[in-house]
Chains A and B, each alone.
Chain A
Amino acid sequence: MEIGKPERVVHVEPVEEPVGIPPAAPAEPTVTPEREPVGA
């Protein structure tokens, strides 16, 4: 397929996922133990 000579590069970052792509699952929260587990 011929689309012609390249003219410029652009950077495209959609704010939302395009239609059809499920949004990424939120990251699991990191739980920090309040104190060292016994035996650690």
Chain B
Amino acid sequence: MNAPDYPSAIRAFRIWGVTGDGRRLQSTAAGFWSTMPAWRPGARLEARCLTPRACPDGGIPGLLHRCGIYGLKSFDAAVDWARHVGRVRSTVVIGEVALWGTVVESARGWRAQYAYPARFLEATTRRGRRPLDLAELGGVYAVPIGEPSLV
């Protein structure tokens, strides 16, 4: 087994959708899961891959594949992503995510084996919908809300 390169989780920016009651996070794309993965409070989300031959060494995410749980290095990129997804989802949460396990680094982001939300920053709700209570969501996941902690 390889010695770890980092002793603490990597922090990145990402976005989530929410369930109808506003109390559970969902990824905004199914990616390499068979269905849109739900983020369970108090439990890490583990990446899956539907085409394991694309990750020949058995490590998920594979270096040359596209599977894994995504995080972005730039807050502005997360805002752009939220704007794009907001066309099809009524509520979008922007936040920070902790990433760990096997992690593939790219120029503008990361793909990770494990993830859990680390901080909720803001939420956008389509006009006519009930605004999301970000503090309540923070309580459900036991994470802080507020300004970005990343530089």
- On A, residues with C-beta under 8 Å from B are 1-16, 18-22
Q: Indicate if the CB atoms of B118 and A20 lie closer than 8 Å.
A: yes
Q: Indicate if the CB atoms of B64 and A6 lie closer than 8 Å.
A: yes
Collect the chain B residues with CB atoms within 8 Å of residue A19's CB. Answer: 98, 116, 118, 142-144
Q: Given the interface contacts A3-B107, A5-B106, A12-B10, does A20 sit within 8 Å of B5 by beta carbon?
A: no
Name the CB-closest residue of B to A16.
Answer: B8
Within 8 A of A (CB), among B8-60: 8-10, 29, 41-44, 59
Q: Indicate if the CB atoms of A9 and B103 lie closer than 8 Å.
A: yes
Chain A CB within 8 A of B99 CB? yes
Name the CB-closest residue of A to B141.
Answer: A20
Q: Given the interface contacts A3-B70, A19-B98, does A10 sit within 8 Å of B6 by beta carbon?
A: yes
B7 to chain A, nearest CB (A): 5
- On B, residues with C-beta under 8 Å from A are 2-10, 29, 41-44, 59, 63-64, 70, 72, 81, 98-112, 116-118, 141-144
CA distance A10 to B103 in the complex (A): 5
Q: A14-B9, A14-B100 are in contact. List 17 more A-B contacts (CB 8 A).
A: A1-B72, A2-B108, A3-B70, A3-B72, A3-B108, A4-B109, A6-B63, A8-B105, A9-B105, A11-B2, A11-B6, A12-B99, A12-B103, A18-B44, A18-B98, A18-B116, A18-B118
CA distance A2 to B58 in the complex (A): 23
Q: Indicate if the CB atoms of A15 and B70 lie closer than 8 Å.
A: no
Q: Given the interface contacts A4-B108, A19-B143, does A12 sit within 8 Å of B5 by beta carbon?
A: yes
Q: Indicate if the CB atoms of B118 and A9 lie closer than 8 Å.
A: no
Q: Indicate if the CB atoms of A21 and B44 lie closer than 8 Å.
A: yes
CA distance A19 to B109 in the complex (A): 21
Q: Would you list 24 pairs from A and B whose C-beta atoms are within 8 A, ordered by A residue?
A: A1-B72, A1-B81, A3-B70, A4-B108, A5-B106, A6-B63, A6-B64, A6-B104, A9-B63, A9-B103, A10-B5, A10-B6, A10-B10, A11-B4, A11-B6, A12-B9, A12-B101, A12-B112, A13-B100, A14-B98, A18-B98, A18-B116, A20-B42, A20-B141
